[in-house]
Structure 1
Amino acid sequence: MSAKFLPLRIIKQTSNNPTGTVLFFHGSGDTGDGVREWVKFLVQDFQFPHLQVLFPTAPLRPYTPLDGGFSNVWFDRLSISPDVPEHTETLDEVCTDMVDFIKNEVIQKGIPENRIIVGGFSMGGALAMHIGFRHMPRIAGIFALSSFLSYTSSIYKLPKPSSELPPLLMCHGNRDDLVPYEWGEQTFKTLTTQFGVKGEFQTIPNALHELKRKEILLLQEWLNKQLPP
Protein backbone atom coordinates (compact mmCIF):
# COMPACT_ATOMS: atom_id res chain seq x y z
CA MET A 1 0.00 0.00 0.00
CA SER A 2 1.33 3.43 -0.93
CA ALA A 3 2.37 5.39 2.14
CA LYS A 4 0.96 8.52 0.49
CA PHE A 5 -2.58 7.39 1.18
CA LEU A 6 -2.33 6.11 4.73
CA PRO A 7 -4.29 5.63 6.87
CA LEU A 8 -6.75 3.60 4.82
CA ARG A 9 -10.13 3.23 6.51
CA ILE A 10 -12.48 0.50 5.35
CA ILE A 11 -16.12 -0.47 5.64
CA LYS A 12 -15.87 -4.18 5.01
CA GLN A 13 -18.40 -6.26 3.13
CA THR A 14 -20.49 -8.55 5.30
CA SER A 15 -19.67 -11.66 3.27
CA ASN A 16 -16.25 -13.27 3.13
CA ASN A 17 -15.21 -12.30 -0.40
CA PRO A 18 -15.99 -8.89 -1.95
CA THR A 19 -17.05 -8.83 -5.60
CA GLY A 20 -16.66 -5.07 -5.93
CA THR A 21 -14.90 -2.08 -4.42
CA VAL A 22 -15.92 1.53 -3.79
CA LEU A 23 -13.32 4.24 -3.14
CA PHE A 24 -14.69 7.28 -1.29
CA PHE A 25 -12.40 10.36 -1.39
CA HIS A 26 -12.78 13.01 1.30
CA GLY A 27 -12.91 16.77 0.76
CA SER A 28 -10.09 19.26 1.34
CA GLY A 29 -8.69 19.32 4.87
CA ASP A 30 -10.47 16.13 5.93
CA THR A 31 -9.22 12.53 6.22
CA GLY A 32 -10.45 9.12 5.19
CA ASP A 33 -11.40 8.43 8.80
CA GLY A 34 -13.23 11.74 9.02
CA VAL A 35 -15.49 11.23 6.02
CA ARG A 36 -16.05 7.58 6.98
CA GLU A 37 -17.35 8.63 10.38
CA TRP A 38 -19.49 11.35 8.78
CA VAL A 39 -21.11 8.81 6.45
CA LYS A 40 -21.69 6.32 9.27
CA PHE A 41 -23.20 9.08 11.46
CA LEU A 42 -25.74 9.85 8.73
CA VAL A 43 -26.48 6.24 7.76
CA GLN A 44 -25.37 3.72 10.37
CA ASP A 45 -25.93 0.73 8.10
CA PHE A 46 -23.90 2.07 5.17
CA GLN A 47 -22.62 -1.40 4.44
CA PHE A 48 -22.96 -3.90 1.62
CA PRO A 49 -22.84 -7.70 1.72
CA HIS A 50 -20.73 -7.86 -1.46
CA LEU A 51 -18.77 -4.59 -1.57
CA GLN A 52 -15.88 -3.17 0.41
CA VAL A 53 -15.73 0.61 0.77
CA LEU A 54 -12.28 2.22 1.08
CA PHE A 55 -11.59 5.69 2.48
CA PRO A 56 -8.03 6.82 1.61
CA THR A 57 -6.49 9.93 3.17
CA ALA A 58 -4.92 12.56 0.91
CA PRO A 59 -1.23 13.42 1.29
CA LEU A 60 -0.27 16.42 3.39
CA ARG A 61 0.77 19.17 0.96
CA PRO A 62 0.94 22.98 0.69
CA TYR A 63 -2.46 24.41 -0.21
CA THR A 64 -2.64 27.83 -1.83
CA PRO A 65 -6.10 28.85 -0.47
CA LEU A 66 -4.59 28.47 3.02
CA ASP A 67 -1.74 30.85 2.08
CA GLY A 68 0.49 27.87 1.39
CA GLY A 69 -0.17 26.17 4.70
CA PHE A 70 -0.17 22.37 4.74
CA SER A 71 -3.40 20.42 4.54
CA ASN A 72 -4.66 16.97 3.56
CA VAL A 73 -5.71 17.80 0.00
CA TRP A 74 -5.68 15.70 -3.15
CA PHE A 75 -4.33 18.54 -5.27
CA ASP A 76 -3.57 22.24 -5.04
CA ARG A 77 -5.66 25.02 -6.57
CA LEU A 78 -5.07 28.72 -6.81
CA SER A 79 -8.51 29.61 -5.45
CA ILE A 80 -11.97 28.13 -5.06
CA SER A 81 -13.53 29.47 -8.24
CA PRO A 82 -14.88 27.82 -11.42
CA ASP A 83 -12.89 30.03 -13.78
CA VAL A 84 -9.48 29.36 -12.20
CA PRO A 85 -7.32 26.87 -14.18
CA GLU A 86 -6.54 23.51 -12.62
CA HIS A 87 -3.22 23.00 -10.84
CA THR A 88 -2.05 20.49 -13.43
CA GLU A 89 1.14 19.35 -11.69
CA THR A 90 -0.43 18.20 -8.42
CA LEU A 91 -3.60 16.93 -10.09
CA ASP A 92 -1.71 14.74 -12.56
CA GLU A 93 0.57 13.52 -9.79
CA VAL A 94 -2.25 12.40 -7.52
CA CYS A 95 -4.17 10.79 -10.40
CA THR A 96 -1.11 8.73 -11.34
CA ASP A 97 -0.52 7.71 -7.72
CA MET A 98 -4.17 6.83 -7.13
CA VAL A 99 -4.49 4.77 -10.32
CA ASP A 100 -1.38 2.84 -9.24
CA PHE A 101 -2.93 2.43 -5.79
CA ILE A 102 -6.15 1.03 -7.29
CA LYS A 103 -4.26 -1.38 -9.50
CA ASN A 104 -2.08 -2.59 -6.63
CA GLU A 105 -4.64 -2.69 -3.82
CA VAL A 106 -7.84 -3.61 -5.65
CA ILE A 107 -7.32 -5.14 -9.08
CA GLN A 108 -4.39 -7.35 -8.04
CA LYS A 109 -6.59 -8.74 -5.25
CA GLY A 110 -9.12 -10.00 -7.76
CA ILE A 111 -11.58 -7.12 -8.28
CA PRO A 112 -11.94 -6.36 -12.02
CA GLU A 113 -11.97 -2.77 -13.24
CA ASN A 114 -15.65 -2.96 -14.18
CA ARG A 115 -16.50 -3.77 -10.54
CA ILE A 116 -14.89 -0.60 -9.16
CA ILE A 117 -16.59 2.73 -8.40
CA VAL A 118 -14.78 5.92 -7.39
CA GLY A 119 -16.33 9.01 -5.88
CA GLY A 120 -16.16 11.53 -3.13
CA PHE A 121 -17.19 14.76 -1.48
CA SER A 122 -16.21 18.17 -2.89
CA MET A 123 -12.53 17.96 -3.98
CA GLY A 124 -12.77 14.18 -3.60
CA GLY A 125 -15.53 14.07 -6.20
CA ALA A 126 -13.42 16.18 -8.57
CA LEU A 127 -10.54 13.71 -8.16
CA ALA A 128 -12.91 10.82 -8.87
CA MET A 129 -14.08 12.43 -12.12
CA HIS A 130 -10.49 12.87 -13.27
CA ILE A 131 -9.63 9.26 -12.43
CA GLY A 132 -12.72 7.82 -14.11
CA PHE A 133 -13.03 10.00 -17.18
CA ARG A 134 -9.34 10.47 -17.95
CA HIS A 135 -7.56 7.36 -16.67
CA MET A 136 -9.95 4.46 -15.96
CA PRO A 137 -12.96 4.78 -18.26
CA ARG A 138 -13.91 1.11 -17.86
CA ILE A 139 -14.86 1.40 -14.18
CA ALA A 140 -18.48 0.86 -13.14
CA GLY A 141 -19.28 4.42 -12.15
CA ILE A 142 -18.38 7.75 -10.55
CA PHE A 143 -20.15 9.73 -7.84
CA ALA A 144 -19.51 13.36 -6.96
CA LEU A 145 -21.16 15.01 -3.94
CA SER A 146 -21.03 18.83 -3.74
CA SER A 147 -18.32 18.64 -6.39
CA PHE A 148 -17.02 20.60 -9.35
CA LEU A 149 -14.75 20.83 -12.35
CA SER A 150 -12.97 23.98 -13.46
CA TYR A 151 -14.55 25.61 -16.52
CA THR A 152 -11.24 24.93 -18.30
CA SER A 153 -10.80 21.42 -16.90
CA SER A 154 -8.48 19.05 -18.74
CA ILE A 155 -11.42 16.62 -18.87
CA TYR A 156 -13.23 19.02 -21.19
CA LYS A 157 -10.23 19.05 -23.51
CA LEU A 158 -10.34 15.29 -24.12
CA PRO A 159 -11.53 14.07 -27.53
CA LYS A 160 -15.07 12.72 -27.54
CA PRO A 161 -14.71 9.03 -26.62
CA SER A 162 -15.62 6.28 -29.06
CA SER A 163 -17.18 4.20 -26.29
CA GLU A 164 -19.45 5.00 -23.38
CA LEU A 165 -17.91 6.64 -20.31
CA PRO A 166 -18.77 5.55 -16.74
CA PRO A 167 -22.19 6.66 -15.45
CA LEU A 168 -22.16 9.62 -13.07
CA LEU A 169 -24.18 10.43 -9.96
CA MET A 170 -23.94 14.01 -8.76
CA CYS A 171 -25.70 15.45 -5.71
CA HIS A 172 -25.53 19.11 -4.73
CA GLY A 173 -27.09 21.24 -2.01
CA ASN A 174 -29.07 24.18 -3.36
CA ARG A 175 -27.74 26.41 -0.57
CA ASP A 176 -24.06 25.46 -0.96
CA ASP A 177 -22.06 28.56 0.02
CA LEU A 178 -18.61 27.22 -0.92
CA VAL A 179 -19.14 25.39 -4.22
CA PRO A 180 -22.26 27.10 -5.60
CA TYR A 181 -25.08 24.88 -6.80
CA GLU A 182 -24.86 26.37 -10.31
CA TRP A 183 -21.20 25.31 -10.55
CA GLY A 184 -22.01 21.69 -9.83
CA GLU A 185 -25.01 21.77 -12.16
CA GLN A 186 -22.91 23.25 -14.98
CA THR A 187 -20.27 20.53 -14.48
CA PHE A 188 -22.94 17.86 -14.97
CA LYS A 189 -24.47 19.58 -18.00
CA THR A 190 -21.09 19.94 -19.73
CA LEU A 191 -20.21 16.29 -19.18
CA THR A 192 -23.58 15.03 -20.40
CA THR A 193 -23.89 17.31 -23.44
CA GLN A 194 -20.26 17.38 -24.57
CA PHE A 195 -19.28 13.77 -23.86
CA GLY A 196 -22.57 11.91 -23.65
CA VAL A 197 -22.02 10.92 -20.03
CA LYS A 198 -25.12 9.22 -18.65
CA GLY A 199 -26.25 9.67 -15.10
CA GLU A 200 -28.32 11.77 -12.77
CA PHE A 201 -28.05 15.08 -10.94
CA GLN A 202 -29.86 15.22 -7.62
CA THR A 203 -30.68 18.49 -5.86
CA ILE A 204 -30.45 18.26 -2.07
CA PRO A 205 -32.90 20.84 -0.65
CA ASN A 206 -31.70 23.29 2.01
CA ALA A 207 -28.21 21.74 2.11
CA LEU A 208 -25.06 23.80 2.45
CA HIS A 209 -21.59 22.43 1.60
CA GLU A 210 -22.18 19.24 3.52
CA LEU A 211 -23.26 15.63 3.34
CA LYS A 212 -26.89 14.87 4.11
CA ARG A 213 -28.65 11.65 5.01
CA LYS A 214 -30.85 11.88 1.90
CA GLU A 215 -27.91 11.85 -0.50
CA ILE A 216 -26.10 9.03 1.31
CA LEU A 217 -29.26 6.93 1.00
CA LEU A 218 -29.45 7.87 -2.69
CA LEU A 219 -25.80 6.91 -3.04
CA GLN A 220 -26.35 3.59 -1.29
CA GLU A 221 -29.20 2.73 -3.66
CA TRP A 222 -27.15 3.83 -6.71
CA LEU A 223 -24.11 1.75 -5.67
CA ASN A 224 -26.26 -1.36 -5.37
CA LYS A 225 -27.70 -0.65 -8.82
CA GLN A 226 -24.30 -0.14 -10.48
CA LEU A 227 -22.61 -3.01 -8.62
CA PRO A 228 -25.30 -5.62 -7.93
CA PRO A 229 -24.41 -8.79 -6.02
Structure 2
Amino acid sequence: MSTSTIRKYSASVIFFHGSGDTGQNLLEWVRFLLGRDFNLAHVKIIYPTAPMQKYTPLNGQLSTVWFDRRSVNIAALESKKSMSQCYDIVHQLIQNEVDHGIPLNRIIVGGFSMGGALALHTCYHLNTGLAGVFAHSSFLNRKSVVYESLENQKAPTNTLPELLMLHGERDTLVPLEWGLETFESLQKLGIVGTFTPLKNTLHELKKRSLLDLEDWILKKLPPLSMDISNKL
Protein backbone atom coordinates (compact mmCIF):
# COMPACT_ATOMS: atom_id res chain seq x y z
CA MET A 1 0.00 0.00 0.00
CA SER A 2 1.42 3.38 -0.96
CA THR A 3 1.64 6.25 1.54
CA SER A 4 -0.96 8.13 -0.49
CA THR A 5 -3.60 5.56 0.49
CA ILE A 6 -3.02 5.83 4.25
CA ARG A 7 -6.31 6.53 6.04
CA LYS A 8 -6.58 10.23 6.81
CA TYR A 9 -8.89 10.04 9.84
CA SER A 10 -8.53 8.17 13.12
CA ALA A 11 -11.91 9.15 14.60
CA SER A 12 -15.42 10.15 13.52
CA VAL A 13 -18.24 12.38 14.74
CA ILE A 14 -21.81 11.90 13.48
CA PHE A 15 -23.71 15.19 13.90
CA PHE A 16 -27.51 14.84 13.54
CA HIS A 17 -29.51 17.93 12.51
CA GLY A 18 -32.81 19.09 14.01
CA SER A 19 -36.30 18.52 12.61
CA GLY A 20 -36.98 19.97 9.16
CA ASP A 21 -33.31 20.65 8.47
CA THR A 22 -30.64 18.85 6.40
CA GLY A 23 -27.07 17.78 6.97
CA GLN A 24 -25.84 20.31 4.42
CA ASN A 25 -27.68 23.17 6.14
CA LEU A 26 -26.22 22.15 9.50
CA LEU A 27 -22.73 22.12 8.00
CA GLU A 28 -23.28 25.61 6.56
CA TRP A 29 -24.62 26.83 9.92
CA VAL A 30 -21.46 25.61 11.65
CA ARG A 31 -19.28 27.26 9.02
CA PHE A 32 -21.21 30.54 9.29
CA LEU A 33 -20.85 30.72 13.08
CA LEU A 34 -17.21 29.62 13.26
CA GLY A 35 -16.07 31.15 9.98
CA ARG A 36 -14.52 27.75 9.24
CA ASP A 37 -15.04 24.02 9.66
CA PHE A 38 -14.37 22.35 12.99
CA ASN A 39 -10.61 22.43 13.60
CA LEU A 40 -10.27 18.67 14.00
CA ALA A 41 -7.98 17.50 11.21
CA HIS A 42 -7.87 13.86 12.35
CA VAL A 43 -11.64 13.61 12.93
CA LYS A 44 -14.15 12.99 10.16
CA ILE A 45 -17.34 15.01 10.77
CA ILE A 46 -20.42 13.44 9.19
CA TYR A 47 -23.61 15.46 8.65
CA PRO A 48 -26.32 12.99 7.56
CA THR A 49 -29.78 14.06 6.40
CA ALA A 50 -32.97 12.55 7.80
CA PRO A 51 -35.50 10.92 5.47
CA MET A 52 -38.57 12.82 4.30
CA GLN A 53 -41.59 11.52 6.21
CA LYS A 54 -44.89 12.59 7.76
CA TYR A 55 -44.45 14.60 10.95
CA THR A 56 -47.41 14.77 13.33
CA PRO A 57 -46.54 18.14 14.97
CA LEU A 58 -46.81 19.66 11.46
CA ASN A 59 -50.30 18.16 10.96
CA GLY A 60 -48.81 15.21 9.12
CA GLN A 61 -46.95 17.25 6.54
CA LEU A 62 -43.77 15.81 5.05
CA SER A 63 -40.53 16.94 6.66
CA THR A 64 -36.93 15.81 7.04
CA VAL A 65 -37.18 14.30 10.52
CA TRP A 66 -35.37 11.39 12.15
CA PHE A 67 -38.56 10.11 13.78
CA ASP A 68 -42.17 11.12 14.33
CA ARG A 69 -43.45 12.66 17.55
CA ARG A 70 -46.96 12.82 18.94
CA SER A 71 -46.08 16.34 20.06
CA VAL A 72 -43.02 18.38 21.04
CA ASN A 73 -43.46 17.86 24.76
CA ILE A 74 -41.40 16.10 27.39
CA ALA A 75 -44.55 14.42 28.73
CA ALA A 76 -45.51 12.90 25.36
CA LEU A 77 -44.97 9.20 24.69
CA GLU A 78 -42.32 8.12 22.18
CA SER A 79 -43.39 6.59 18.89
CA LYS A 80 -41.52 3.29 19.17
CA LYS A 81 -42.32 2.23 15.61
CA SER A 82 -40.92 5.46 14.17
CA MET A 83 -37.86 5.30 16.45
CA SER A 84 -37.08 1.73 15.38
CA GLN A 85 -37.08 2.79 11.72
CA CYS A 86 -34.49 5.51 12.28
CA TYR A 87 -32.33 3.09 14.28
CA ASP A 88 -31.62 1.26 11.02
CA ILE A 89 -30.15 4.48 9.58
CA VAL A 90 -28.02 5.00 12.67
CA HIS A 91 -26.69 1.44 12.64
CA GLN A 92 -25.66 1.84 9.00
CA LEU A 93 -23.92 5.18 9.64
CA ILE A 94 -21.88 3.68 12.47
CA GLN A 95 -21.14 0.49 10.53
CA ASN A 96 -19.84 2.56 7.61
CA GLU A 97 -17.22 4.09 9.91
CA VAL A 98 -16.28 0.74 11.42
CA ASP A 99 -15.90 -0.68 7.90
CA HIS A 100 -13.43 2.13 7.19
CA GLY A 101 -11.31 1.17 10.17
CA ILE A 102 -12.68 3.50 12.88
CA PRO A 103 -13.25 1.60 16.15
CA LEU A 104 -16.42 2.24 18.14
CA ASN A 105 -14.47 3.89 20.94
CA ARG A 106 -13.26 6.50 18.45
CA ILE A 107 -16.80 7.49 17.35
CA ILE A 108 -18.89 10.25 18.93
CA VAL A 109 -22.53 10.91 18.10
CA GLY A 110 -24.35 14.16 18.76
CA GLY A 111 -26.97 16.47 17.49
CA PHE A 112 -29.07 19.59 17.68
CA SER A 113 -32.67 19.48 18.98
CA MET A 114 -34.29 16.29 17.59
CA GLY A 115 -30.82 15.24 16.44
CA GLY A 116 -29.59 15.42 20.02
CA ALA A 117 -32.42 13.18 21.17
CA LEU A 118 -31.48 10.67 18.47
CA ALA A 119 -27.85 10.84 19.63
CA LEU A 120 -28.93 9.99 23.19
CA HIS A 121 -30.90 7.01 21.90
CA THR A 122 -27.89 5.97 19.84
CA CYS A 123 -25.37 6.11 22.67
CA TYR A 124 -27.42 4.82 25.62
CA HIS A 125 -29.93 2.49 23.94
CA LEU A 126 -28.34 1.18 20.74
CA ASN A 127 -24.58 1.19 21.27
CA THR A 128 -22.98 1.96 24.63
CA GLY A 129 -19.47 1.31 23.28
CA LEU A 130 -19.09 4.72 21.66
CA ALA A 131 -16.65 7.42 22.78
CA GLY A 132 -19.23 9.95 23.86
CA VAL A 133 -22.42 11.82 23.05
CA PHE A 134 -23.47 15.47 22.88
CA ALA A 135 -26.96 16.98 22.75
CA HIS A 136 -27.54 20.68 21.99
CA SER A 137 -30.99 22.10 22.81
CA SER A 138 -32.45 18.62 23.23
CA PHE A 139 -34.55 16.48 25.55
CA LEU A 140 -35.82 12.94 26.07
CA ASN A 141 -39.45 12.07 26.76
CA ARG A 142 -40.04 11.20 30.40
CA LYS A 143 -40.83 7.57 29.63
CA SER A 144 -38.11 7.20 27.01
CA VAL A 145 -36.83 3.74 26.16
CA VAL A 146 -33.35 5.19 26.83
CA TYR A 147 -34.06 5.27 30.57
CA GLU A 148 -35.42 1.74 30.42
CA SER A 149 -32.25 0.54 28.68
CA LEU A 150 -30.01 2.19 31.26
CA GLU A 151 -32.00 0.70 34.14
CA ASN A 152 -31.44 -2.73 32.63
CA GLN A 153 -27.80 -2.04 31.77
CA LYS A 154 -25.54 -4.83 32.98
CA ALA A 155 -22.26 -3.09 32.21
CA PRO A 156 -20.66 -0.97 34.97
CA THR A 157 -21.93 2.60 34.76
CA ASN A 158 -18.37 3.96 34.73
CA THR A 159 -17.89 2.37 31.32
CA LEU A 160 -20.80 4.24 29.73
CA PRO A 161 -20.00 7.10 27.32
CA GLU A 162 -19.63 10.61 28.71
CA LEU A 163 -22.35 13.16 27.97
CA LEU A 164 -22.18 16.85 27.06
CA MET A 165 -25.46 18.79 26.99
CA LEU A 166 -25.74 22.46 26.01
CA HIS A 167 -28.99 24.42 26.16
CA GLY A 168 -30.09 28.00 25.60
CA GLU A 169 -31.50 29.70 28.69
CA ARG A 170 -34.03 31.55 26.50
CA ASP A 171 -35.09 28.55 24.41
CA THR A 172 -38.89 28.70 24.03
CA LEU A 173 -39.27 25.71 21.67
CA VAL A 174 -37.42 23.26 23.93
CA PRO A 175 -37.37 24.89 27.39
CA LEU A 176 -34.15 24.75 29.39
CA GLU A 177 -36.04 22.87 32.11
CA TRP A 178 -36.66 19.94 29.73
CA GLY A 179 -32.98 19.66 28.92
CA LEU A 180 -31.99 19.89 32.57
CA GLU A 181 -34.59 17.30 33.61
CA THR A 182 -33.24 14.95 30.94
CA PHE A 183 -29.67 15.45 32.12
CA GLU A 184 -30.56 14.88 35.78
CA SER A 185 -32.56 11.75 34.91
CA LEU A 186 -29.55 10.36 33.04
CA GLN A 187 -27.26 11.26 35.93
CA LYS A 188 -29.43 9.27 38.33
CA LEU A 189 -28.90 6.26 36.08
CA GLY A 190 -25.12 6.56 36.25
CA ILE A 191 -24.32 8.80 33.29
CA VAL A 192 -21.39 11.15 33.86
CA GLY A 193 -21.30 14.43 32.01
CA THR A 194 -21.79 18.18 31.89
CA PHE A 195 -24.84 20.38 31.40
CA THR A 196 -24.02 23.89 30.16
CA PRO A 197 -26.74 26.59 30.13
CA LEU A 198 -26.13 29.15 27.38
CA LYS A 199 -26.87 32.76 28.28
CA ASN A 200 -28.84 34.93 25.84
CA THR A 201 -29.46 31.92 23.62
CA LEU A 202 -32.71 30.81 22.00
CA HIS A 203 -33.26 27.50 20.18
CA GLU A 204 -30.05 27.86 18.23
CA LEU A 205 -26.37 27.08 17.91
CA LYS A 206 -23.92 29.78 18.97
CA LYS A 207 -20.25 30.29 18.20
CA ARG A 208 -19.38 29.90 21.88
CA SER A 209 -21.22 26.57 22.16
CA LEU A 210 -19.54 25.25 19.01
CA LEU A 211 -16.11 26.20 20.36
CA ASP A 212 -16.92 24.41 23.62
CA LEU A 213 -18.07 21.40 21.62
CA GLU A 214 -14.89 21.46 19.53
CA ASP A 215 -12.74 21.43 22.69
CA TRP A 216 -14.78 18.59 24.20
CA ILE A 217 -14.50 16.45 21.06
CA LEU A 218 -10.74 16.98 20.98
CA LYS A 219 -10.45 15.82 24.62
CA LYS A 220 -12.53 12.72 23.91
CA LEU A 221 -10.86 11.98 20.55
CA PRO A 222 -7.26 13.20 20.78
CA PRO A 223 -4.90 12.66 17.84
CA LEU A 224 -3.17 9.29 17.77
CA SER A 225 0.52 8.84 17.05
CA MET A 226 -0.35 7.92 13.46
CA ASP A 227 -2.13 11.28 13.02
CA ILE A 228 0.95 13.16 14.22
CA SER A 229 3.34 11.12 12.07
CA ASN A 230 1.18 11.69 9.00
CA LYS A 231 1.71 15.44 9.44
CA LEU A 232 5.51 15.17 9.59
TM-score (norm 2): 0.89
After superposition, residues 25-104 of structure 1 pair within 5 angstroms as 25-45=16-36, 46-103=38-95
**Which residue, 162, 166, 190 being the options, matches 1:167?**
162
SS at match of 1:89: helix
User: For structure 1, which runs of at least 5 residues remain unmatched after alignment?
Assistant: 1-14
Report the equivalent of 1:123: 114
Aligned-residue identity in percent: 46
Matches of 1:226 and 1:161, distance apart in 2:
24
| 1:8-19 paired onto structure 2 within 5 Å | 17-19=8-10
The alignment status of 1:226 with 2:229, answered yes or no, reads no
Matched, 1:213 2:214: no
SS at match of 1:106: helix
| Mapped pair 1:191 → 2:183 | no
CA offset at residue 16 of structure 1? 5.8
Deviation of 1:101 after TM superposition, in Å, equals: 2.7
List, as ranges, runs of 4+ consecutive aligned residues in structure 1 with deviation greater than 2 Å. Answer: 160-164
Structure 2 residues without counterparts, runs of 5 or longer: 1-5, 224-232
Residue 111 of structure 1 deviates from its aligned partner by 0.4
Q: CA deviation at 1:100?
A: 2.3
Q: Distance in 1 between matches of 2:83 and 2:7?
A: 35
Pairwise CA distance, 1:47 = 2.8
Indicate the SS of the match to 1:171. strand
Deviations 1:122-164 (A, max 9, x none): 0000000101101110100000000000011011112144222
SS in 2 for 1:53: strand
Separation (CA, whole Å) in 1 of partners of 2:116 and 2:154: 21
Q: Give the 3-state SS of the residue equivalent to 1:117 in structure 2.
A: strand
Cα distance between partner residues in 2 of 1:51 and 1:100: 19
- Cα separation, 2, equivalents of 1:85 and 1:228: 38
Report the equivalent of 1:135.
126
- The AA in structure 1 aligned to 2:40 is F
1:174-221 deviation line (CA, Å, top 9, x unaligned): 01000000000000000011x211110011001010001111000000
CA distance in 2, matches of 1:66, 1:114: 37
Of 9, 14, 25, the residue aligned with 1:23 is 14
Partner SS for 1:58: coil
**Structure 1 counterpart of 2:18, one-letter code:** G
Is the aligned partner of 1:180 residue 2:175? Answer: yes
- In the TM superposition, what is the alpha-carbon distance from 1:96 to its structure 2 partner? 2.4
Q: How many residues align?
A: 213
Structure with more of its chain in helix, by fraction: 2
- Measured on the aligned residues, the alpha-carbon RMSD in Å equals 1.2
When normalised by structure 1's length, the TM-score is 0.90
Cα distance in 2 between the residues matched to 1:110 and 1:157? 31
Q: Name the amino acid aligned to 1:218.
A: D
In structure 2, how many angstroms separate the alpha carbons of the residues matched to 1:48 and 1:217? 11
Counterpart amino acid of 1:187? T
Larger Rg: 2
